[in-house]
Structure 1
Amino acid sequence: MKMHWGRVAVGIGLTAGLVGGYKYINQKNISKVETPRRDVSTRVIDGDTFDMSDGTRIRLWGIDAPEYPEGCLSELAKKRLEELVLNKNITIVNKGMDNFGRTLALVYDGKLSINQSLVTEGMAVFDEKINAEDVDLQTMEKAAKEAEMAKRGVWSSKCSQPNPKCVIKGNYRQAGGTRVYSLPDCFNYDRIVVNPVGGDKWFCSEMEAGKAGFKKSLDCPGMK
């Protein structure tokens, strides 16, 4: 899995410290934009989404955790988020809403940034689709690069191609929930990117792919 990171803006004074392996974002910067509120989290959905006691569904802003339950280390990412927020009185900084009606937010337990912690540990990646002009996003983007270099979590060998001889690409299509595998002689094979975080997998045999619920792609020879 290869992520292409945008350039981190320089020359901006970031007020962040490193304590116990985690970086903390200066909450004074964000409070000027949004008024934080406090509430108790009651249910964790996956590695980057959870519910509050008032029914609000929170989607952590600026990061992407492995697609649950398909993605590599997705169960571990969900468990880690539970450890960080479940049944805790946390601070929510609203950054808007997504297309699913979820509140996009920066989340804190005291001074600890939950978004930042997950990226630092490799339990989530920085969402490079977002323009990193926000001070908090710049800090998370830097943490993501450091996690990649250190091969933590989703950047580790656990989420890369396990065996060079296992060349069958299994693609999990989130939109339709379908699972399709492609062999090297399939038409679109070279265009397919295997993203274990999103639920894609490498397979050593067609039998293995079939047992995992993947069907042969229609663009493979003999399938049309």
Structure 2
Amino acid sequence: MFGWRRRSEGFEWREYVRTTVLVRRADRQRRAEDIRAAAVAKVKNAADAGVGAGRAGVSAARSQLSRLLSVTGEVLLDLAVAAYAELSRWRKFLWSVAKDTFGSLFRPVREALRVPIDAARDKAKIIPDMARAFPIKAHHLISAALAIGLIYAGGPMLRSADGVGVVGADLATGTLPSQQVTVSTEISGQATAISGDVIRIDGTTVRIEGIEAPASQQPCYRANGRKWNCAAAARTALNKMVRGRSVTCTRTGQDEAGRTIAQCAAGGLDLATQLVRKGHVFAAGSYFSSLSGEETAARNAKAGIWQGEALRPQAWRDQAWEAAKQQSPDGCPIKGVIRASSKIYTLPWSDAYATAKVRPERGERWFCTENEAKAAGFSPSDRS
């Protein structure tokens, strides 16, 4: 009679409420970070301008130096040709004297050496032409050396232009500080799970390296065919692993969304290994992943997502995209909507996609690609 009151299997209401509050708090922090990111972009633009000026100066210096070396090379080559011609005349003179003096004595030797001497003389005559026709010139070598020097000398400047290691910049004016401090590659502190593979530590959003959590709207199925929320279960499992523990993450890179990619551990255990081993998430790269053995063990044990049918997140997103194309105008499934005077677009796998309504009379529209939406002034939805 009251079957509708039964809780969904594997679902914890207290954890759900707590996690929802944390996610909303994380959203507010992320908006603040977006403001900071915009200010840092000003810093990057200023640094890019400085790097561009430096490159222009190096290019001008290289052009002048290459021209000077090219002219010098031509002069030296002309001098070499003239010297060769003068030596050739002296050789002919000395040869004629030796021939007149010792002709009869060395006639047999001269006859024997005539053929190789003539061949060598013919080859020597084409040396200047070969030198002029040689494809690699002096200015080519100078250009290559300057390019290598620019890479080694300009590398730190370009890294600073990306905002790495810049501390204390004036965000209001976009000016750089007089000193730069290298950002530590290690992040540690209390963590909160945003999804099955993303956590937040002291205001920094970190995506755990080597794993893929099910997408937020992606369904999973048990062995009996019942649908269950595997994305929420992965987030809950990650929250349990980090709750009350100090989490330490070592940076390894940055993803397209600007989030830090890192290897993370809590309580002496690697989070990625534990999540894959217990079947909460997928190993990124499948068979080519370092965690492929853990994933195989979880699949054989039918743990977590492997207890029934489960698609990898990208395969599920591809299916969602194709299904949305069939139901959208002109096969363009991206919804561009206006909310509180902000233009945003949502993708078919976004949490807000189903409820988003496109109203052309308000300037809202459909897009075929994300680049098309961005070109029209629309930004990605926070939940996309």
Q: 2:277 aligns with which of 93, 104, 120?
A: 120
The DSSP-based 3-state class of the residue aligned with 2:251 is: strand
Would you say 1:66 and 2:214 are equivalent positions?
Answer: yes
Q: How does 1:68-217 map to 2 (within 5 A)?
A: 68-72=216-220, 73-128=230-285, 132=289, 137=290, 140-157=291-308, 159=309, 173=317, 180=324
State the secondary structure of the residue aligned to 1:80.
helix
Deviations 1:34-83 (A, max 9, x none): 95442221x32111111111x11010100111111434211111110111
Q: Is the 8 A contact 2:187 2:201 kept in 1?
A: no
Do the aligned partners of 1:62 and 1:130 also contact (CA within 8 Å) in 2? no
Separation in structure 1 between the aligned mates of residue 325 and residue 302 of structure 2, nearest angstrom? 27
Aligned 8 A contact 2:286 2:292 in 1: no
Q: Cα–Cα, structure 1 residues 121 and 88, in superposed 2: closer, same or farther, change >3 Å?
A: same
Give the direction of change, closer, same or farther, for the CA distance of 1:108–1:177 in structure 2 (3 Å limit).
Answer: same
Cα 1:175–1:96 change in 2 (3 A) is: farther
5 Å-filtered alignment, 1:35-74, equals 36-41=186-191, 43-53=192-202, 55-72=203-220, 73-74=230-231
Equivalent position amino acid for 2:209 in 1: W
CA distance 1:160–1:114, change in 2 (3 Å): closer
Instruction: Name the Cα RMSD after superposition.
Output: 3.4
In our comparison, the structure showing a higher alpha carbon Rg is 2
Shift of the 86–160 alpha-carbon distance from structure 1 to 2, 3 Å rule, reads same
Point out which structure has higher relative CO (alpha carbons under 8 A, 6+ apart).
Answer: 1
Q: 1:174, 1:79 → 2: CA distance?
A: 26
Gaps of 5+ in 1: 1-33, 162-170, 183-198, 200-211, 214-224
| Residue segments in structure 2 that go unaligned for 5+ positions in a row | 1-183, 221-229, 327-348, 356-384
Identity %: 25
Q: Secondary structure at the match of 1:46?
A: coil
**How many equivalent residue pairs?**
134
Runs of 4+ in 1 over 2 A off after TM superposition: 34-37, 69-72, 129-132, 171-182
- Residues 177, 47 of structure 1: alpha-carbon distance in 2 compared, 3 angstrom cutoff: farther
Identify the structure with the greater helix proportion: 2
For residues 83-114 of structure 1, the C-alpha deviation after alignment (integer angstroms, 9 at most, x for no partner) is 11245311111111111111111111131111
Question: Alignment partner of 2:263: what SS?
Answer: strand
Contact 2:193 2:199 in 1 (8 A): yes
